[in-house]
A and B are shown apart, each in its own frame.
Chain A
Amino acid sequence: MTKKTKPVVYADRRFLDRLTAAPGFTSVSASVISIIVGLILGFILLLFIDAGSSFLGMSDLLTYGISSAKSFAKVLYKAAPLMMTGLSIGFAFRTGLFNIGATGQYTIGAFFGLFAAIMWKFPWWAAILIAMLAGAVWGAIPGFFNAYFHVNEVITSIMCNWTALFLCNLIFMNTPGMWLNPSDRSRTISVVTANPSGLLPRFGLDKLLDSSYANIGIFITILIAVIVYFILEKTTFGYELKAGGYNRHASVYAGIKSKRNILFAMMIAGGLSGIGGAISYLAGTVDYTISSTSLLPMGFNGIPVALLAFSHPLGIIASSVFIGYLQVGGEAMQPEFSAEMVNVILSIIIYFSAFSLIMRGVVRKFIKRKEKKETPETPDAPVEPPVTESKGVEN
């Protein structure tokens, strides 16, 4: 990628060169390309389902999120908890762990957030703190078993997910103060009626954006994303965590307390998801469904959020807003398209977006090829060396 060999440098090209050489350029453009591919594939699917309304459906999907202040408020409302589970999964991933337990930690966070606000009449910030601690404890379980007993965190996390769901439902079901309606006990009572101080403050945003979905949640989560970025990239703790994620053996060799760090990493990941759960339900716009028997999807949606951003905390801010945006747009596609159909389309887009990892290789190749074209007598296009080999195979 050096420019030494280039005979002439044109002024306009210099900008492009600088851009393509900037760190993160390949990652960002890979994500963007993946998103576009996902959108095109989603559109093709729409064509197949109902060619007539496909254009309308697509334009709803793509524009509804910014069609009004109201819908934009909803995008931010959806993005906030997504950002938290995305950060949770991304953070764990950077430290070499796969936190499939985000949904359970999120559920626990929702539970404690609601419980603290409704039963204990805690103010919102205290409820969020409690939720964070509870999420951290829930994350600590797989962390502990991984660190000290070599049990894969994925297995324990999945068990913890179901335990969290039914445990929370069970307690809610047996706590009369939590019921919205004593006759069927299917939902929790609204925070608005039970304890207004438990609601996330709106600071006039609701008036400004003309939406009850508007609250300060998104600002809290962006702040947390910045903090996570800082921890990972600027501190010795982050250095240790990432070292362990890349090469556990070498981190032990360096004297890093690897086991303790695995535990800490999972606790932090759990805490992040826990905050997400509280922020989601303390908005006061949706009640918790006590009778639900399926895992909350928010925790799983954090996976594409993290993947799309290459687990980079600042990238996760963008990717969570994007996916929140699609989700809101998807709601606008109804009733022309059924809710299930919309979900299928969304998952296609989201999961293709997560192919950004593959796209990154393609983008790199493309940049190199272009550079070669500038030096005339090149026989072939260069091929990117195999940068990521599986770590286990190497000797």
Chain B
Amino acid sequence: MDNYIIEMKNITKEFPGIRANDDITLQLRKGEIHSLLGENGAGKSTLMSILFGLYTPDTGMILKNGEAVKITNPNDANALGIGMVHQHFKLVEVFTVLENIILGAEPTKSGFLTLNETRKKVIELSEKYNLHVNVDAKIEDISVGMQQRVEILKMLYRENEILIFDEPTAILTPQEIEELMQIMRNLIKEGKSILFITHKLNEIMAVSDRVTVLRKGKWMGTVNIKDTTKSELSMMMVGRKVKTIRSDKRAQSPDVILKVEHLTVANKLHKKLNAVKNVSFDVHSGEIVAIAGIEGNGQSELAYALTGLEKTISGIIHFSNVDITNSSIRDRVKLGMSHIPEDRHKYGLILDYSLEKNLVLKRYWQSDFNRHGIILKEAVRNYSDKLIEQYDIRSGQGSTTIVRSMSGGNQQKAIIAREIDFNPNLVVAVQPTRGLDIGAIEYIHTQLIKERNSGKGILLISLELEEVLALSDRILIMYNGEIVAELDPHKTTPNEMGLYMVGGNRSTPQNQEAGDLA
């Protein structure tokens, strides 16, 4: 007899226009790491939200240790020892770590907060599991990786024994992922059981005991990791073989699309330091230039400066032979610059707008979509339907779906469709495949290469070494705000890149700035 700590039996959940979960059964053994695998929109987050009490299933039942339980809200879940780290965190930015952890379970003695004991308890937990969290830091000041650990601490503080991780690794750097997996192994050692959602097969193979595969809301099977392979899993998940795309080598065209000269950009948190320091590079027509580096080395700020979201301190940006250093964002768009932003909820989407309104976010002002300032509803709808079809954006109600209700991966697909389709000269793609399933990644990579082959320039900013190696024609390594190396993806190795990324080596000339000042 198997010892299941949680069983979800025959779960069905419908949303307007879509059956997100269709008769799914999931059994979690005590002390195992159980992965959930499935395409974007397959229903993974929905299933986990049901277990966490955010949704109530239409049919089906949940058992804990063999007994039927009723979970109608997160408090019920918490009382049963179920905790969840969401795909998009739910932390209060202006509160400290400690305040966030106790939020909703504030320890009080006769009506007053008793923080000291709690503080000790939280610090102890943090040390026990090697989380290294500074409990007094404000959420807005710490990295996403740290924020995630705060979410983990939150679950541990509540003494949850069933831990749900919804795509925890999508926003982490490779190093952080390595650490998270170690944390997960430690948690299992302490008797916890884990449900783990990820799109990365390597991670599933590395840490989990079993994996359940979903496709379009249906259960496809549950298998032991030791009895399966990556290709078998991807077959199960998308129903066909998925290729890893690799771009072919091409001769560089002499046309320069983007030319960046001595660009310096301020650091938002520490005004005195600069995030981007005297950086120069160019992107030619028909090439993919990748910027690789460990998160927080100035890549984000570089992208914001190029696309106009942040001001520069000094330096010049030439785009299509125009000096755009001080141009408005709209002017850059008009010149053909597209931007797949790093933070899709903050910049990329208007979550409360419908999908069609989001798909024309960069074009609504064009004459195709309005006449004398009046929106041409039909034109918008047709365009949106076309993109949905072409990019396989899945949602409950098509063009009229409110984007907030869409699955994370499909939100990302919507952004990519919009940014590639307006026929740009340059695509600034920051983490373009974050949160996408392997089938979608294959498609997006193919699209990016197609764009390149048709003479576009692509600036790919990615933390994923594999993606960088597979797609790019040139790799620039950024470390501490500077470009420290230019590498040939067909010759370099992840190890060599890693060395440059941690600042252990440099092949480009030292920063001129210091010399100029002296």
Contact = CB atoms under 8 A, between A and B. Distances in A.
B330 interface: yes
Contact of A380 (B56, B88, B307, B309): B56
Nearest to A372: B58
A395 B309 contact: no
A378 B58 CA distance: 6
B365 interface: yes
Contacts of A239: 357, 364, 375
Interface in B90-121: 90-93
A235 B371 CA distance: 9
A191 B59 CA distance: 69
Interface string A210-252: 0000000000000000000000001111010011001101111
What band does the interface of chain B fall in when counting residues whose beta carbon is under 8 Å from A? 35 or more
Contacts of B348: 250, 253
Interface string B71-100: 011000000000000001111110000000
A377 B58 CA distance: 9
A387 to B, nearest CB: 7
Interface residue SS majority, chain B: loop
Contact of B55 (A1, A2, A383): A383
Given A2-B17, A246-B352, A395-B147, A252 B309 contact: yes
Contact of A253 (B58, B91, B339): B339
A294 B106 CA distance: 43
B59 A243 contact: no
Interface string A244-276: 001101111111110000000000000000000
B200 interface: no
B56 A247 contact: no
Given A243-B361, A249-B347, A235 B375 contact: yes
A255 B59 contact: no
Interface in B137-155: 144, 147
B504 interface: no
B124 to A, nearest CB: 27
Contact of B404 (A5, A381, A387): A387
B88 A253 contact: no
A198 to B, nearest CB: 34
B347 A253 contact: yes
A254 B329 CA distance: 7
Given A236-B370, A377-B59, A379-B61, A250 B347 contact: yes
B148 to A, nearest CB: 10
Contacts of A237: 373
Interface in A363-378: 372, 375, 377-378
Contact of B93 (A5, A246, A393): A393
5 contacts: A236-B374, A239-B364, A383-B54, A385-B54, A392-B93
Interface of A: 1-2, 5, 234-237, 239, 242-243, 246-247, 249-257, 372, 375, 377-383, 385-387, 389, 392-395
